[in-house]
Amino acid sequence: MVMTKNLLKLAEMEVIAKKAMFEALRDYPKPSEGLENLTLGSGITDSAGIFELYLAGERPQDARVLSRATVDRSSGEVHVEVFLDKPLFSASS
């Protein structure tokens, strides 16, 4: 059983996720089309908040996920995955 007393709420985790995704996507090119359909989806489990930044399609199966952030509800630790081509700039440049 997970204690809920000190767990982060969805709105608190969203702030963490947005900041982490923005930082992770900083060096990637913006998608050339569909930005008007850019959407942040969210879900919550007992232990984590899951946030997906995606371009919505006409049908749900047409959506293109750009990034996913998972925020630990206890610690606030965040893990970001990026599903785009490589960054414009490498860390060594």
From first to last of its 93 residues, what are the pLDDT tens digits of the chain? Answer: 555 578 999 999 999 999 999 999 998 887 777 788 899 999 999 999 999 999 998 898 888 899 999 999 999 999 999 998 766 554 444
Residue 48 falls within a domain, yes or no? yes
Residue 87 falls within a domain, yes or no? no
Residue 5 falls within a domain, yes or no? no
Residue 91 falls within a domain, yes or no? no
Residue 30 falls within a domain, yes or no? no
Domain that holds residue 16: 10-25+35-82
Closest CA to 25 of 77, 76, 67: 67
Residue 62 falls within a domain, yes or no? yes
Closest CA to 72 of 55, 47, 51: 47
Quote the pTM value: 0.83
Residue 61 falls within a domain, yes or no? yes
pLDDT at 4: 59
Calpha distance 87→63 (Å, rounded): 21
**Number of structural domains found in the chain:** 1
Closest CA to 39 of 48, 26, 52: 52
